[in-house]
Chains A and B, each alone.
Chain A
Amino acid sequence: MSSISSPSVRGAQAAPGQGIGLYLAIGCLVAVLGFALPFVGLPKNLLALLTSASISAILATAVGFLVRQAGLSSFGHAAFYGGAAYAIALLVKYTSLPAEVVVLAAPLLIVGLGVVVSLILLRTNGIAFSMLSLAMAQAVYELVMKWRDLANGEDGLRIRFAREIFGLKLSFFQKADTMFLVTWAVLVVVIAILVLVSRSNFGTLTIAIKNNEERARFLGYRTLWPRVVILALSALIAALGGTLFALYNGYVTPSLLHWTLSGEALIIAIIGGTRSVWAPAVGAFVFVILRDVAGNYTTHWQSIVGLVLIAVVLTLPNGIGGALTAFTNRFGGRQNG
């Protein structure tokens, strides 16, 4: 477990000045190149795929960040992700609030819930945390499945958005060539903020708590609240992903809340690597594109994805992100990398 949960001491966190510059340059370049993608004549299907991938990337980033900063493997993030999507669907269905308010309120609502839940969840650690998060999320799933009058069960809900949201036509959010700009922007901002958080004193403190909570407490730090903040932040990011999903698809089904989605996000984070904040996002793009390609050839795409996961875990213990970092360090001329 430690191989996926402990970020490198020599990694981005403690990199010397020259290394930061290189990473910053690469990061900015990738971010800017991303915004150019819809304008280079890519096939529509590829753009639709990239849009879904960036939404998955946001969820995986949330899950990976929790592993990185707190050493916690959540099996319940679908509850935050699908919870936000369902919050939007239900608010649109049962209230007459403007769509803008709904879209902004849903993630905040979920974070509020996340803080309350984290006070219970964070009494536990390791496997117990994973199981408790799984149980709580499945409870939400069952509620939505069984309470048919509320959320229409298995068949899901269509979200009847207004024709315009934030002054933009609804189709702006539901067509891949324009929505990709939104999802990519959110992903870039999320990663940028998380990198800043992870490099701040607060970020270092949470790593210290993760490595040895007793020692951190002995040094005079309160250890519960930093962990609550990390979990809430992670929940917020997952909820942002769910919000984007709801906007883009205009439709929600209980599978958004199912534990398999949480598991998938964790798998993506592991494929990407959890040593760096940005690595799970890389994993998401690889995973989503791989799944699509495999799905075109066989209905048994899960087995192909499974084989890739085995290969990654065996050959790249730090995930794709870890391999990329090693590669960059070698060619970036850093001797101590």
Chain B
Amino acid sequence: MKVRGLLGASALAIVLASPALAADPIKIGVATALTGAYGDLGNEVRRAVEFAVEEVNAKGGIDGRLVETQFLDTQAKADISRQQAEKLVNDGYTLLTGAIASGEALAIAPMLERWDAVYIGTIPKADALTGAECSPRYFRANVPDSADAATVGTWLKDQPEKKWAIMGSDTAWGRNSGASFVGTSKGLEREVVTEGYAGLGTSDFAPYIQKIADSGAEGVWVALAGRDAINFAQQAKQFGLLDKVKVAGVSFVTDSTVKSLGDVSKGIFGIVNYSSTLDTPENKAFVAAWNKKYPGTWPANFEADTYVGMQMLFAAIDKADSAEPEAVAEALSGLTVDSIVGEVTVRPEDHQLVRGNFFGRIAEHDGVLRPVISATIDAAVAMPAANRDCQL
């Protein structure tokens, strides 16, 4: 039995090593939240990956190899996410993406080397992912918390409101964002009078809203996403909080918030990691192509961030002439990509994509309510230096 097994294994090895491999598909595994509180976000990731893959396959693939994907649901839960990612890797989908919650990525990152996989993070913002928990195989295409904090400072210093409240998600990201906001406001002589953190999937925000109203805060910083963001905004509107205080946030000023809230969302400030109104030729082409595939919609921020991640990944595979995770990881480190957010580089020290950031508000653009950029912050200002805790 053992001899036969060995024979089988070596036969398999020969098959795998044969030149026929060159035409083998490139396999991208997407473990994302297709259901649950972050279900909307996971479906945005899915749309973006499908768009990017269809686009690249229409051009004949990368180096003649077509791209294949598999999607699995994680419900944005760290443990499920990790199991699904492992499942994808075992099925040969060793180029991974899709985590929504930072907790998911934090659970997966330590396993990547052992699995011999590469991960392109496009949504999770926790600083630890490119800090103390950084991995040689984890690359971040999106903007981390610390960069959002640096960005909010440029806006906060011009606001008259002195007293602020924080309404965050009780997750690695929400806590991280809250702490960053506290740090930024201290430096600007603003005071954080109350902080509330609601668990993932909270449906009743009344206690949190009451606390904010009682605290005398003049502004509220919101770090909620997905269904949590929608629930909070709708209830805050019912309580009249939105009229009384200035509302700003991160991952809050998104196309899906606008879609669910309608006119109520008008005037909400926030960090805009991406806006479809971005006026560059690359972005205009992207928006037009997106509009063609998904008629009547504009790419939302998480969709664009995921698309940037796919641009990064495809460029790295092209550069490496290989889809082997180790070669791809090597190519990604220090890679410069011509992306929809301009020419950007993956920092070799911590695997963070160095890109600028935007501040904006929800306003009408071409007669449609959506996040509109009011200030562009250069990467030099927006992106803090590589974290020293990261030892690659």
The residue that B78 contacts in the complex, of A171, A175, A251, with Cβ under 8 A, is: A251
| A41 x B5 contact (CB < 8 A) | yes
Residues 178-214 of B, flagged 1 when their CB comes within 8 A of A and 0 if not, give: 0000000000000000000001100000000000000
Shortest Cβ distance from residue B229 to the other chain A in the assembled complex, whole angstroms: 16
Contacts A41-B5, A253-B103 given; 4 further ones with Cβ under 8 A? A44-B90, A145-B199, A153-B171, A171-B114
Set of chain A residues within 8 Å of B34, measured between Cβ atoms: 299
| B106 x A158 contact (CB < 8 A) | yes
| B200 x A154 contact (CB < 8 A) | yes
User: Of all chain A residues, which has the CB nearest B35?
Assistant: A299
In the complex with contacts A39-B2, A253-B77, A255-B77, A153-B90 CB distance below 8 A: no
> Is A167 among interface residues, defined by CB-CB distance under 8 A?
no
| B107 x A251 contact (CB < 8 A) | yes
Set of chain A residues within 8 Å of B1, measured between Cβ atoms: 39-40
> Is A317 among interface residues, defined by CB-CB distance under 8 A?
no
In the complex with contacts A154-B171, A155-B103, A253-B78 CB distance below 8 A: yes
In Å, the complex CA distance between A171 and B115 comes to 11
In the complex with contacts A44-B90, A45-B91, A148-B175, A249-B79 CB distance below 8 A: yes
Shortest Cβ distance from residue A58 to the other chain B in the assembled complex, whole angstroms: 17
> Is A43 among interface residues, defined by CB-CB distance under 8 A?
yes
Residues 40-53 of A, flagged 1 when their CB comes within 8 A of B and 0 if not, give: 11011100100010
Residues 90-110 of B, flagged 1 when their CB comes within 8 A of A and 0 if not, give: 110000000001110011001
| A155 x B101 contact (CB < 8 A) | yes
In Å, the complex CA distance between A147 and B83 comes to 25
> Is A174 among interface residues, defined by CB-CB distance under 8 A?
yes
| A148 x B170 contact (CB < 8 A) | yes
Shortest Cβ distance from residue B155 to the other chain A in the assembled complex, whole angstroms: 28
| B199 x A154 contact (CB < 8 A) | yes
> Is B73 among interface residues, defined by CB-CB distance under 8 A?
yes
In the complex with contacts A251-B79, A299-B73, A156-B107 CB distance below 8 A: yes
> Is A19 among interface residues, defined by CB-CB distance under 8 A?
no
Q: Could you tell me which A residues sit within 8 Å of B by CB distance?
A: 39-41, 43-45, 48, 52, 145, 148, 152-156, 158, 171, 174-175, 249-251, 253, 255-256, 295, 299
In the complex with contacts A45-B90, A48-B87, A155-B78 CB distance below 8 A: yes
In Å, the complex CA distance between A255 and B78 comes to 9
Set of chain B residues within 8 Å of A39, measured between Cβ atoms: 1-2, 5
In Å, the complex CA distance between A156 and B91 comes to 26
User: Of all chain A residues, which has the CB nearest B126?
Assistant: A155
Interface band, chain B: 20 to 34
26 A-B pairs with C-beta separation under 8 A: A39-B1, A39-B5, A41-B5, A43-B90, A45-B91, A48-B90, A152-B172, A153-B171, A154-B199, A155-B78, A155-B101, A156-B103, A156-B107, A158-B106, A158-B107, A174-B114, A175-B114, A249-B82, A250-B110, A251-B78, A251-B79, A251-B107, A253-B107, A256-B79, A299-B34, A299-B73
| B78 x A41 contact (CB < 8 A) | no
In Å, the complex CA distance between A262 and B362 comes to 45
| A154 x B103 contact (CB < 8 A) | yes
Set of chain B residues within 8 Å of A158, measured between Cβ atoms: 106-107, 110, 133
Secondary structure dominating the interface of B:
helix
User: Of all chain B residues, which has the CB nearest A44?
Assistant: B90
In Å, the complex CA distance between A20 and B133 comes to 54
Set of chain A residues within 8 Å of B216, measured between Cβ atoms: none
| B8 x A41 contact (CB < 8 A) | yes
Set of chain B residues within 8 Å of A155, measured between Cβ atoms: 78, 101-103, 106, 171-172
Q: Which of A145, A152, A253 has the most CB of B within 10 A?
A: A253
> Is B86 among interface residues, defined by CB-CB distance under 8 A?
yes
Set of chain A residues within 8 Å of B87, measured between Cβ atoms: 45, 48
Set of chain B residues within 8 Å of A41, measured between Cβ atoms: 5, 8-9
In Å, the complex CA distance between A153 and B35 comes to 21
Shortest Cβ distance from residue A183 to the other chain B in the assembled complex, whole angstroms: 15
In Å, the complex CA distance between A152 and B78 comes to 12
Shortest Cβ distance from residue B73 to the other chain A in the assembled complex, whole angstroms: 5
- A-B pairs, top 8 by smallest CB distance, nearest first, are A155-B103, A44-B90, A45-B90, A155-B172, A253-B79, A299-B73, A253-B78, A156-B78
**Chain B, 98-149, CB within 8 A of any chain A CB:** 101-103, 106-107, 110-111, 114, 133
In Å, the complex CA distance between A251 and B86 comes to 13
| A153 x B73 contact (CB < 8 A) | no
Shortest Cβ distance from residue B51 to the other chain A in the assembled complex, whole angstroms: 21
In Å, the complex CA distance between A152 and B106 comes to 12
Q: Which of A158, A171, A175 has the most CB of B within 10 A?
A: A158
In Å, the complex CA distance between A13 and B390 comes to 60
In Å, the complex CA distance between A249 and B87 comes to 13
Shortest Cβ distance from residue B134 to the other chain A in the assembled complex, whole angstroms: 13
User: Of all chain B residues, which has the CB nearest A52?
Assistant: B83
In Å, the complex CA distance between A90 and B9 comes to 41
User: Of all chain A residues, which has the CB nearest B175?
Assistant: A148
In Å, the complex CA distance between A8 and B35 comes to 43
Shortest Cβ distance from residue B89 to the other chain A in the assembled complex, whole angstroms: 9
Set of chain A residues within 8 Å of B171, measured between Cβ atoms: 153-155
Q: Which of A154, A156, A171, A174 has the most CB of B within 10 A?
A: A154
In Å, the complex CA distance between A314 and B175 comes to 48
In the complex with contacts A41-B5, A250-B110, A299-B35, A156-B79 CB distance below 8 A: yes
Set of chain A residues within 8 Å of B91, measured between Cβ atoms: 45
Shortest Cβ distance from residue B190 to the other chain A in the assembled complex, whole angstroms: 24
In Å, the complex CA distance between A251 and B78 comes to 9
User: Of all chain A residues, which has the CB nearest B80?
Assistant: A255
Set of chain B residues within 8 Å of A152, measured between Cβ atoms: 172
Set of chain B residues within 8 Å of A52, measured between Cβ atoms: 83
In Å, the complex CA distance between A148 and B103 comes to 13
| A154 x B170 contact (CB < 8 A) | yes
Set of chain A residues within 8 Å of B200, measured between Cβ atoms: 154
Set of chain A residues within 8 Å of B102, measured between Cβ atoms: 155
In Å, the complex CA distance between A48 and B103 comes to 22
Set of chain B residues within 8 Å of A251, measured between Cβ atoms: 78-79, 82, 107
Shortest Cβ distance from residue B80 to the other chain A in the assembled complex, whole angstroms: 8
Set of chain A residues within 8 Å of B83, measured between Cβ atoms: 52
Set of chain A residues within 8 Å of B86, measured between Cβ atoms: 48
Shortest Cβ distance from residue A168 to the other chain B in the assembled complex, whole angstroms: 15
In Å, the complex CA distance between A41 and B111 comes to 23
User: Of all chain B residues, which has the CB nearest A159?
Assistant: B110
In Å, the complex CA distance between A250 and B1 comes to 33
